[in-house]
């Protein structure tokens, strides 16, 4: 019997991982093109960027890393806050959690959906930056690391923010923007962290975007406020903490959300 | 109950703050049974089903599905069941076929099997020619058929049906009942929650009646009838409306007389003896009887009787 236990565990893990990929596919088919995802995930960062850039004497290549980090921040964290409330309202959530898929696998699928959405859309600012400016990628490894780990942390945050028992996607979107927007302004996107006021410099380490931004800047050969090793570590920590929190709160509030 | 218990519920309780929605409920469902779960609105039916299907956790007590505790082994217990909720909550923006395939994939059904089974079930439920249509284009009846397809494609051991025919057109309701009965004949255990007493009477081999969160009775409809002997009666229709209720009450053995349209109901402990007395009565009065029969209490009568009591008085 003892010899069988690991096999069963591996089989269970394999089944749950497969189920998570089914969730990703479902989310991609159903939610990637929903208006709130496109508005908060794509239009928001574009207009933020334009509002920041216009009339300021900043070299275009200086702002490409920030633009990429901001786009990743909004896109990766836009899917989670939409999927769960949307499914609660449609009544499909109850059927989903009655399937033999663990809550962890469902949420992992939601996180992966955000990572995929954010990573794929980040190709747009990279392509624009490399084509239209003199930006160069000096360290592809750091850039990819920043995009993937950043998307993982941001998407996990999005899934965590979807936990409160609200059946209206707009309520959750409001909550997510209440969290995302303040963090955006203390993360060194619009102004290098070293030039920010003291209180903002204290707040910057609390934002996962600060680390993703620094890592992406390093990928483009620009000096980051935090060293790359610390960025990798902190993004991994944020991803784990957010995902664990998402599992706890989704489980706790599941009954109230039905 | 015949056969081994595939659903075993012991002292199952669920509280929402100060409200006890389900209060120490006990029952078992045997393999291959078609088990009805009846109760008035707010009695605790849906909460019980949600606990059994792992959607919410019990506050107290245990429930197991095919031997797997729903709290300790939620994934394993859910692997044996499929749910058709009252609300046809299909994915509206997915095609009919994708909806079915999605559920099959989430249950880990092998590719070849899910393709074969989905085609067979879509054919069986009259949805084959709508496979490519988006689910939002379907009527309520067709969406409920789709829900049934999506549940059955997972090849469950136990099928939970929550008011599956509520508000449906006659054709869809009949089709769903027929498919469920056929699957039950092939060995599928069915847990049917319904308000429709005729449906429960027609389909269920055993029923549980829940009231104010507590089980009022669990038995076969025929054995439950013996608990409500007071509801046995003779039903009679006279050719003209001259048969006065007051006179009918004078027949020996008649306890009470009621009128339902043209039908007069003579409640009695021994309906057969009253029927004989009724024939003599009609002959004496020169009244023609066009219809007479003895009636056992219906499941509806039993339900009304057992749910009339307040909390804790029904058992």
Which residue, among A98, A105, A165, A257, would best test binding to B if mutated, counting the most B CBs under 10 Å from its CB? A98
Helix (H) or strand (E) run with residue A151 in it: helix A140-161
B52 → chain A, closest CA residue: A98
Interchain pair A97, B79: CB under 8 A: no
Which candidate, A176, A192, A243, places its Cα nearest to that of A39?
A: A176
Residue A92 touches chain B, beta carbons under 8 Å:
yes
Q: What share of chain A is helix, strand, coil (3-state, %, to 5)?
A: 80, 0, 20
**Dist. CA A166–CA B49, nearest whole Å:** 22
Q: Does A24 touch chain B (CB under 8 A)?
A: no
Tens digits of residue pLDDT in B212-263: 899 988 988 878 777 776 678 888 888 876 555 557 888 888 888 888 888 8
Quick: pLDDT tens for A99-152: 999 999 999 999 999 999 999 988 888 888 888 888 889 899 999 999 999 999
| Rounded distance between C-alpha atoms, residue A95 and residue B89, angstroms | 8
pLDDT digits (tens, 9 = 90+) for A142-162: 999 999 999 999 999 999 999
**Given a cut of 90, is residue A21 above it in pLDDT?**
yes
pTM: 0.84
pLDDT of residue B309: 57
- Alpha carbon distance B204, B196 (integer Å): 12
pLDDT at B313 over 60: no
Strand B289-295 to strand B19-30: parallel, antiparallel, or no bridges (unpaired)?
A: unpaired
Across the interface, of A29, A94, A100, the residue whose CB is closest to B79 is A100
- Residues B113-141 have pLDDT tens digits of 999 999 999 999 999 999 999 999 999 88
Q: Give me the residue from A26, A92, A94 closest to B55, CB to CB.
A: A94
Q: Which of A96, A245, A83 is nearest to B55 (CA)?
A: A96
Q: What is the pLDDT of residue A148?
A: 96
* Per-residue pLDDT tens digits for A168-184: 788 888 888 899 988 98
Q: Mean pLDDT throughout B68-75?
A: 93
Q: What's residue A33's pLDDT?
A: 82
Does the CB of A22 have a partner CB in chain B at under 8 Å? yes
Percent of chain A with pLDDT over 90: 45
Alpha-carbon distance of A217 to A211, in angstroms, equals 10
Specify burial of residue B240 (Cβ count, 10 A radius: 0-12, 13-18, 19+). exposed
Instruction: State ipTM.
Output: 0.85
Report d(CA A166, CA A175) in Å as an integer.
10
- Out of A91, A101, A255, closest to residue B56 by CB: A255
Can you give the pLDDT at residue A155? Answer: 96
**A vs B: CB pairs below 8 A:** 71
Mapped onto helix, strand or coil, the DSSP state of residue B222 is helix
Q: Which residues of A touch B50 (CB under 8 A)?
A: 94, 255, 258
Q: What residues in chain B have their Cβ under 8 A from chain A's Cβ atoms?
A: 16, 50, 53-57, 74-76, 78-79, 81, 83, 85, 87, 89-94, 98, 102-103, 105-108
Task: Give CA separation, A45 vs A76, A143, A159, B21, B187, in Å.
Answer: 12, 19, 20, 47, 57
CA-to-CA distance for A66 and A76, rounded, in angstroms?
A: 15
Contacts of A254 in chain B (CB under 8 A): 55-56
Would you place residue B197 in the very low, low, confident or very high pLDDT band (cuts 50, 70, 90)? Answer: confident
Q: Burial of B260 by CB count in 10 Å (0-12 exposed, 13-18 middle, 19+ buried)? A: exposed
- The residue-averaged pLDDT of B68-84 equals 93
Q: CA-to-CA distance for B203 and A247, rounded, in angstroms?
A: 41
DSSP state of B17: T
User: B185 CA to chain A: closest CA distance, Å?
Assistant: 24
Chain B residue numbers touching A91 (CB-CB < 8 A): 85, 87, 89
CB B7 within 8 A of CB B51: no
Q: Are B114 and B103 in contact (CB under 8 A)?
A: no
Q: Which of B105, B148, B163 to mutate to test the interface with A (most CBs of A within 10 A)?
A: B105
pLDDT above 70 for B314:
no
Pick the residue with more confidence: A215 or A45?
A: A215
The nearest alpha carbon in chain B to A95 belongs to B83
- Cα-based torsion angle of the residue sequence A165, A169, A172, A176 in order, rounded to the nearest 10 degrees: 150
Tens-digit pLDDT profile for residues B272-304? 888 888 888 888 888 888 898 888 777 777 777
Which chain B residues are within 8 Å of A18, Cβ to Cβ? Answer: 105, 108
pLDDT tens figures, B15-55: 998 999 999 999 999 999 999 999 888 889 999 999 999 99
């Amino acid at each position: 019997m003892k010899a069988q236990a690991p096999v069963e565990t591996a089989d269970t893990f394999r089944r749950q991982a497969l189920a998570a990929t089914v969730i990703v596919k479902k989310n991609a088919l159903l939610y990637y093109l929903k208006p709130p995802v496109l508005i908060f995930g794509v239009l928001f960062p574009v207009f933020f960027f334009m509002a920041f850039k216009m009339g300021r004497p900043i070299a275009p290549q200086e702002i490409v890393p920030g633009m990429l980090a901001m786009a990743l921040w909004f896109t990766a964290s836009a899917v989670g806050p939409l999927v769960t409330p949307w499914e609660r309202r449609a009544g499909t959530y109850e059927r989903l959690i009655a399937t033999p898929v663990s809550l962890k696998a469902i949420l992992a699928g939601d996180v992966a959906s955000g990572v995929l959405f954010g990573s794929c859309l980040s190709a747009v600012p990279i392509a624009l930056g490399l084509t239209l400016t003199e930006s160069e990628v000096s360290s592809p490894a750091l850039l990819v690391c920043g995009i993937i780990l950043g998307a993982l942390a941001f998407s996990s945050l999005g899934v965590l923010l979807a936990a409160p028992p609200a059946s209206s996607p707009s309520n959750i979107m409001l909550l997510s923007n209440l969290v995302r927007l303040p963090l955006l302004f203390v993360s060194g996107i619009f102004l290098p962290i070293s030039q920010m006021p003291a209180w903002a410099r204290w707040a910057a380490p609390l934002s996962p975007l600060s680390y993703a931004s620094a890592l992406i800047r390093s990928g483009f050969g620009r000096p980051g406020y935090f060293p790359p090793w610390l960025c990798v570590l902190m993004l991994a920590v944020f991803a784990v903490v957010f995902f664990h929190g998402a599992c706890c709160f989704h489980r706790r509030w599941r009954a109230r959300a039905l | 109950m015949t056969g081994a218990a595939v659903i075993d519920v012991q002292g199952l309780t669920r509280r929402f703050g100060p409200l006890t929605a389900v209060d120490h409920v006990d029952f078992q469902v045997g393999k291959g049974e078609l088990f009805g779960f009846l109760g008035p609105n707010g009695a605790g039916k849906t909460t019980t089903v949600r606990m059994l299907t792992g959607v919410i956790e019990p506050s107290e007590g245990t429930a197991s599905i095919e031997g797997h505790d729903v709290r300790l082994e939620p994934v394993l217990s859910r692997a044996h069941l499929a749910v058709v909720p009252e609300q046809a909550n299909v994915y509206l923006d997915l095609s009919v076929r994708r909806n079915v395939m999605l559920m099959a994939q989430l249950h880990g059904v092998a590719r070849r099997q899910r393709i074969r089974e989905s085609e067979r079930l879509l054919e069986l439920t009259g949805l084959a020619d709508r496979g490519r249509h988006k689910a939002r284009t379907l009527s309520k009846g067709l969406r409920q058929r789709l829900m049934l397809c999506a549940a059955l494609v997972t090849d469950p051991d136990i099928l939970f049906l929550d008011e599956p025919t509520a508000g449906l057109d006659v054709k869809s309701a009949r089709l769903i009942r027929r498919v469920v009965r056929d699957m039950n004949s092939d060995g599928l255990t069915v847990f049917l929650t319904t308000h429709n007493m005729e449906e429960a009477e027609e389909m269920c081999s055993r029923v549980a009646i829940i009231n104010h969160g507590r089980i009022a009775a669990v038995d076969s409809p025929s054995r439950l009838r013996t608990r409500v002997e007071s509801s046995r009666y003779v039903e009679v229709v006279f050719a003209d409306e001259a048969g006065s209720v007051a006179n009918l009450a004078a027949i020996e053995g008649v306890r009470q007389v009621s009128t339902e349209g043209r039908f007069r109901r003579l409640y009695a402990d021994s309906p057969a003896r009253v029927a004989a007395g009724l024939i003599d009565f009609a002959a004496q009065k020169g009244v023609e009887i066009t219809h007479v029969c003895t009636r056992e209490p219906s499941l509806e009568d039993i339900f009304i009787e057992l749910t009339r009591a307040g909390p804790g008085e029904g058992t």
